[in-house]
Amino acid sequence: MQTQYLEEILAKIKNRIKELDISIGEGEKDIEEMHEYYWSNYTEMDEYGYENFDNRQALLTRMNANSQQMDLKRRFKKMLDSPYFARIDFVYDGEEEAERYYIGIGNFSEGAGHTPLIVDWRAPVASLFYDFDKGQASFETPQGISMGVILAKWQYKIKHGKLIYAFESDVKIDDEILKNELGNNGDVKLRNIVSTIQREQNAIIRNVQDKILVVQGAAGSGKTSIALHRIAYLLYHDRKNLCAANVLILSPNGVFSDYISHILPELGEENIREMSFDIFAYRELKGIAADCEERYDQIERMLAAEQQGVFADSVGSSRYHYKQSKEFVNELNGFILELESDLVDFRNIHFKFVNKKADEIMELFYYKFPDIPLLSRMEAVAGYVIDEAETLNGRNLDELELAIIMETFHRMYRTKDIYELYDIFLRRMNMAPLPDCPLPERKLRYEDVYPVLYLKYRLTANVRRREIKHLLIDEMQDYSYIQYLIINELFDCKMTILGDRSQTMEDEKRDVTRFLPKIFGKDIRMLTINKSYRQTVEIARYAASLIQETDVELLERHGNPPYICGHISYDGMIEELTEKLAKESGRFETSAVLAMTEREAKQLYERLKDKLAQRSVLYIDRDSKEFQKGIVVTTFYLAKGLEFDRVFCVYGEKCTSPLCVQAKYIMATRALHELYVYEHEEEI
């Protein structure tokens, strides 16, 4: 019956597309004829322009109608792949027969005025699916509240117009792995376990009361899926105040936004904004430095040193951690306080009719505008003095005169160059100074990027990003204390912050929840989810053993044990990789070959691309923006936040440092169904 209904719906959608094709074709013909008529008769239209106006309006109306029909056609073509993903059977109070509502990415009916066969996930009736389990339920309509009982909730996986699975569940299941398990296994015990997991997830997804929600989740606990469904839920329920443009995701890498776009079909054509914090910092520091390192540069430098047997601290590991710490921020704040008395050389102003003594300017600077940041304060003082002088003299200064006076005020600063000020601070701390070079040659080391940005925000007036009403931070463990201070400075909005302390790209675990309440205050709620289910038990246990993780609960979803291969030559490994990647490729949509460093990943890609000439092999580097199904080759740090059906981990036998162990753990937790580990003998 499920398959039959799907076939009927697909046939009706195809029929509507044919009707739209005919209507769009007729519309294009009408538009062409209207254009011809207009230009043929333009000179003969009435002198007052009424006919001209009427013709223009008619043309505009027809063009808009055609545009709307083309948009409708695009949506229907998209729905041919997956017309709906859920169904609600609902009995209204006072009725005996249940109404069936199929829910999809948009409304669909056989024609204008017809009863919808599929309802948009944002329609009021769809709240039955999102807000209620089986039993008593209600939803708002323009006529008031409709009450009744939900008899059944169905969820579907439809791909390329084919029904993959269908299952009935009391609660809405959001996670693809859980849906797949229920769709292929009717075991009562499994259903109860999944129901428990989903209720825990729904409590997070539907949380609207807490301003800042922090979720610490084990690898494989579905954090990203939860976060995205939470965004969809908030967009649905607060659509009067919140739209996709008001949501920002701070993502771990460039391909993450493309990757997540495949996870959440409910969002349809809504585009959520995504940004790498490192890219944001680079843009904000334009004018202070010409270029900035990324986090990936820091990781590559540490890995390269460790592979050569160099202790990590000698390449700046300890220095980097100190410069991101609370202790360093306290020292920086102390320096900013010292600048209050050191940075400005007050002088008398005498220009035209503007006259002010140095001590009067100093009083204004310290007592009239004490709350304005230091490097923006003199502009406020200058504006006040100029307004006062213009009022007293009854005339305004021209633009050139204003520019001269403003420049005179600004010259009272000994320097306004934040790069130079930060360098002074480093020297006072007896730390390595910044390179002394002109702006076009300045490149900030990664350890200095966020301290300089913090200094900029403390010394200059900055506008909060008020257009952002909800901020989503994934991989929260990879953000430092000073980065969270900057985030708190930039965004005064609701936030969802998620991560796993065990997946830190450091040489040890890092739990940021220890200091987040001190930064964000009392409007914060912290939750922990330890149930891991996205990886098979065998993969999850292997990954946990790498870092001695013991507190993870596992869903009994079994698969093949990880394949571990050591003492193999590099060429021998390439041969094995080629064979396994080519074999049984139809079973997996996504496969990843993960390396430690960029150089190693690039070499693997070149070798495998030649060997697998008949297969599509994609190389992801730090500039990549697209995630494609098939075979992906990349580094462990660029794979963060992504998941693959099967993963091939590749590293040398000498890779045994604490950072390497963390990297191995991150690699292993990217695998959903199958994991292969290769420890090759020689260095490449």
- Using one digit for the tens of pLDDT, what is the confidence trace for 458-487? 999 877 888 999 999 988 999 999 999 999
pLDDT digits (tens, 9 = 90+) for 557-569: 888 999 999 889 9
* Spatial CA neighbour of 629 closest among 616, 647, 612, 620: 616
- Alpha-carbon gap, residue 251 to 475, rounded angstroms: 8
CB 503 within 8 A of CB 218: no
pLDDT recorded at residue 56: 72
pLDDT digits (tens, 9 = 90+) for 319-350: 888 999 999 999 999 999 999 999 999 999 99
| Runs of H (alpha helix) within 411-547 | 418-428, 446-459, 481-490, 516-520, 537-547
- Alpha-carbon gap, residue 439 to 275, rounded angstroms: 26
pLDDT recorded at residue 317: 75
- How buried is 116 (Cβ within 10 angstroms: 0-12 exposed, 13-18 middle, 19+ buried)? middle
pLDDT recorded at residue 12: 92
pLDDT average, residue stretch 108-130? 85
* Spatial CA neighbour of 237 closest among 150, 124, 149: 124
pLDDT recorded at residue 166: 85
Tell me 523's DSSP state. Answer: S
pLDDT recorded at residue 470: 94
pLDDT average, residue stretch 22-27? 84
Which residues, 6 or more positions from 548, have their beta carbon under 8 angstroms from its beta carbon?
none
Please give the distance of CA 507 from its chain centroid, rounded to a whole number: 25
CB 512 within 8 A of CB 526: no
Using DSSP, state whether 591 is helix, strand or coil.
Answer: strand
Number of H helices, E strands in the chain: 22, 24
pLDDT grade, residue 304 (50/70/90)?
A: confident
pLDDT digits (tens, 9 = 90+) for 210-248: 999 999 988 888 888 888 888 878 887 787 888 888 999
Residue 535 has pLDDT above 70, yes or no: yes
CB 683 within 8 A of CB 628: no
Residue 666 has pLDDT above 70, yes or no: yes
pLDDT average, residue stretch 499-522? 85
pLDDT grade, residue 640 (50/70/90)?
A: confident
Phi, psi of 86 (to 5 degrees): -155, 165
Using DSSP, state whether 530 is helix, strand or coil.
Answer: coil
pLDDT average, residue stretch 570-581? 91
Which residues, 6 or more positions from 396, have their beta carbon under 8 angstroms from its beta carbon?
390
Residue 185 has pLDDT above 80, yes or no: no
Backbone dihedral region of 309: left (phi > 0), alpha (psi from -120 to 50 degrees) or beta? Answer: left
* Spatial CA neighbour of 130 closest among 167, 182, 171: 171
pLDDT recorded at residue 367: 94
Using DSSP, state whether 303 is helix, strand or coil.
Answer: helix
Using DSSP, state whether 262 is helix, strand or coil.
Answer: coil
The two structure tokens encoding residue 198: 């989903």
DSSP 126-163: GHHHHH--SEEEEEEETTEEEEEEEEEEEEEEEETTEE
pLDDT recorded at residue 52: 65
- How buried is 398 (Cβ within 10 angstroms: 0-12 exposed, 13-18 middle, 19+ buried)? exposed
- Alpha-carbon gap, residue 566 to 177, rounded angstroms: 31
CB 548 within 8 A of CB 528: no
- Mean of pLDDT over the chain: 86
pLDDT average, residue stretch 198-220? 85
pLDDT recorded at residue 169: 78
- Alpha-carbon gap, residue 653 to 675, rounded angstroms: 18
* Spatial CA neighbour of 497 closest among 479, 522, 472, 477: 472
* Spatial CA neighbour of 87 closest among 51, 45, 129, 50: 129
CA Rg value for the chain:
31
